[in-house]
Amino acid sequence: MTEPTAQIAIVVNGEPREVPAGLTVAALLGHLGVAGLAAVERNRELVPRARQSAVVVEPGDALEIVHLVGGG
């Protein structure tokens, strides 16, 4: 029997969410099914793409996951 993964509460794009503890930002993107060139901000600070595999998501974090859309 596998140990149930501990969940943490975070906020993604303004919505509260429970995600597995210990995920890096890159792993979180995979967990949420976000593909392609998303840019991520954690607690109002940009997480550069090169750091997405190093930065671990902490309980209470507020993340913005954005991409480019049509606009003027």
Partner 1 sequence: MSDDTLTIGGRAFGSRLFVGTGKYKDVEETRLALRASGASVVTVAVRRVDLTQTGKGSMFGMLRAEGFTLLPNTAGCYTADDAVRCARLGREAAETDLVKLEVIGDPKTLFPDTEALVAAARVLVKEGFFVLPYTNDDPIVARKLVEVGCPAVMPLGAPIGSGLGIRNPHNLRILMETVSVPVIVDAGVGTASDAAVAMELGAHGVLMNTAIALARNPVQMATAMRLGVEAGRLAYLAGRMAPRLYANASSPLTGSIATSSAPLSIE
Interface with partner 1 (CB under 8 A): 12-15, 32-41, 44, 46, 48-49, 64-72
DSSP state, residue 53: T
- Minimum CB separation from partner 1 for residue 2, in Å? 26
The Cβ-side half-sphere exposure at 35, using a 13 Å CA radius, reads: 0
Cβ proximity to partner 1, 21 vs 46, nearer residue = 46
- Minimum CB separation from partner 1 for residue 18, in Å? 14
Q: Which residues pair with 7 in a beta bridge?
A: 20
- Minimum CB separation from partner 1 for residue 25, in Å? 12
C-alpha 12/C-alpha 28 separation (Å) is 10
